[in-house]
Amino acid sequence: MGVTPKIAPSMLASDFANLASEAKRMLDFGADWLHMDIMDGYVSLLSWTSLLKDFASLSFYFFSTSCFSHFHRHFVPNLTIGAPVIESLRKQTKAFLDCHLMVTNPIDYVEPLGKAGASGFTFHVEVSKENWQELIQKIKSKAMRPGVALKPGTPIEEVYPLVDSENLVEMVLVMTVEPGFGGQKFMPEMVDKVRVLRKKYPALDIEVDGGLGPSTIEMAASAGANCIVAGSSIFGAADAKLCFGKSGEMLTSFLQPRSKHICF
C-alpha cells in the first residue's frame, strides 16, 4: 500500500477552553494531523414552536417563519467552530489542520478558511453534486488540500468521479457514524466501502471518522484506511500516552502500521 499512515485526533472532543494546549499535547504525543470538525447546525421545528410560545409577537412570528426553512436546510444539527477558531489555532501551531466541513454550502467557506490557515478542506459529496469541480478548484487556489466525505447511507460510487477527475480530490473520508456528533458507535458495515476504495485506488488517502477506538481501528486499517480520526477514545482515555517506536509516545486507542510499535 503506497500511502502514509496518519493519525488525526478529533479536536471536537478536546477541552475547547484550552484548545491550543490540547493541540500541543496531541502533537507532542505524535499526532500527524489535527482534525477540525466544522458544522453548520440547524434549528428544528420543535425549537421554533417553543420559541413562538415564549415570544408570541406578530413580528417575531414573521421572522421565525421566514427563517425556518433556511436553518432547517443546514447539514447537521450540531453547531461547532468556524474560521475564527481555525485562525486562532493557526497562530499557535504549524500542524496540518484537517478541516471536515459538515455544512450545506461548503463553497462559502473556502475563502475564509483559506485565509484562516486551514490545511485540508474536506466537503461532503451529498451537498456538492452540482458544483464539485468548481469547489475543488477554489480549494486548491487557496493552497488547501481537497478531500471529499460521504455519509453512511451514500453509495461509495458517488465519490468515484471526484477521484477520477483531472482536477481530483486527494482524500476520501468514509464516515463510520452519522455526521453531527462525537461519541457515536462505530458502524462496521462501512468497512466494505473502505475495502472497495483501497482496491480501486491503491495510492489514495482514505480517512475514517466515527467510533474509532482500540476495538475498531484494526478493522478499518486492515480494510485499507490509512488516516484515522478518533476523538472520545483519545481525549476520554485515562492515559493518552502509548509506545510509538522512535517517536517515543503516541496516542492511546490507535492502531499503527506494522512498521511502527504500538501498545494499548
Instruction: Tell whether 153 is in a known binding site.
Output: no
Cβ atoms within 10 A of the Cβ of 95, count?
18
CA–CA distance, 238 with 112 (Å, rounded to integer): 37
- 224 labelled ligand-binding: no
Q: Are 13 and 232 in contact (CB under 8 A)?
A: yes
Q: Is 211 annotated as a binding residue?
A: yes
Q: Which residues are catalytic?
A: 37, 209
Q: Is 181 annotated as a binding residue?
A: yes
Looking up cell 478536546, which residue turns up?
A: 14
Say if residue 98 carries a ligand binding annotation: no
Instruction: List Cβ<8 Å contacts ≥24 apart for 83-89.
Output: 83/109, 83/112, 83/113, 83/115, 83/116, 83/118, 84/116, 85/19, 85/36, 86/36, 86/113, 86/116, 86/117, 86/118, 87/115, 87/116, 87/117, 88/19, 88/20, 89/19, 89/20, 89/23, 89/34, 89/36
- Is 99 exposed, middle or buried, given 0-12, 13-18 or 19+ CB atoms closer than 10 A? buried
All three cell numbers of 94: 504549524
236 is in an annotated binding site: no
Ligand-binding annotation for 231, yes or no, is yes
233 is in an annotated binding site: no
Residue from 246, 240, 229, 238 nearest 9 by CA: 229
| Residue 232 assigned to a binding site | yes
**Any binding-site annotation on 147?**
no
Per the annotation, binding residues for a divalent metal cation are: 35, 37, 100, 209
Per the annotation, binding residues for substrate are: 10, 100, 180-183, 211, 231-232
Per the annotation, binding residues are: 10, 35, 37, 100, 180-183, 209, 211, 231-232
